[in-house]
Amino acid sequence: MATPSKHLIRAGSQTRRLSETAERIVAAARAHFFAHGFRSVTMDDLAAELGMSKKTLYAQFPSKSELLQAVLLAKFRSIETDLDAIMACSAKDASAALHQLLACMQRHTEEIRPPFVRDIRRENPELFELVEERRRDLIQRYFGTIFDQGRRAGIIRKDISSELIVEILLGAVQAVMNPAKIEQLGLEPKTGYGAIVSVILDGVMTEKGRSKSADWAGRFRA
């Protein structure tokens, strides 16, 4: 499989707008790829499901590699759109914004199932590293900002820097949220992610933060 463009993967939101037909193809591929992996899904399968000719499909995406790239870019755009909407209101209530941010990341994490991650790691480790890099960028950018706001609002401890909290979160996500470890621990992605965040936030929140977040753990374990 050809390696997708590093520039496009890193600058996803700056790519050209897809046609309506291309968006339909990406939506169908996204559902199948993320749930079942991309090795088992053929371009012929997608064309048949969408009720279009293979010629039409290949006119939009000449290869599965290009379609995979488009799926990943669509995923990155949807994450950033959701996170930007949350951050636009974050100054009003840092605690509420933090909960929404965590719920958003958990929801997007759940969509990507282990078969997809395994396929990328096996078929294109360079692309897997780029996906990991984008995840790191998102966590640093958005969580770093909200932790800074939380410190100012008195819900996050001031004796631990936001940068260190983010690095601890990144390290835990990297160590636990991968197919091998999830399988070894017998976890579902939602359960694993919720546990990571629960443990870390319990350690960095102030008493004021905990009082405002009394129902937080229950929401993520539900």
pLDDT at 16: 59
User: Rounded to an integer, what distance in angstroms lies between the CA atom of residue 128 and that of residue 120?
Assistant: 6
pLDDT at 106: 78
Spans of the chain, pLDDT less than 70: 1-16, 179, 189-190, 212-222
pTM of the model: 0.78
Question: Which SS3 state, helix, strand or coil, does residue 156 take?
Answer: strand
Here the tokens at position 202 are 């319990």
pLDDT at 105: 82
Helical segments of the chain, H only: 6-10, 20-36, 43-50, 54-60, 64-87, 94-111, 114-123, 125-138, 144-153, 162-176, 179-185, 189-204, 207-212, 216-221
Q: Are 116 and 178 in contact (CB under 8 A)?
A: no
Q: How many CB atoms lie within 10 A of CB 159?
A: 6
pLDDT at 7: 47
pLDDT at 103: 82
pLDDT at 57: 95
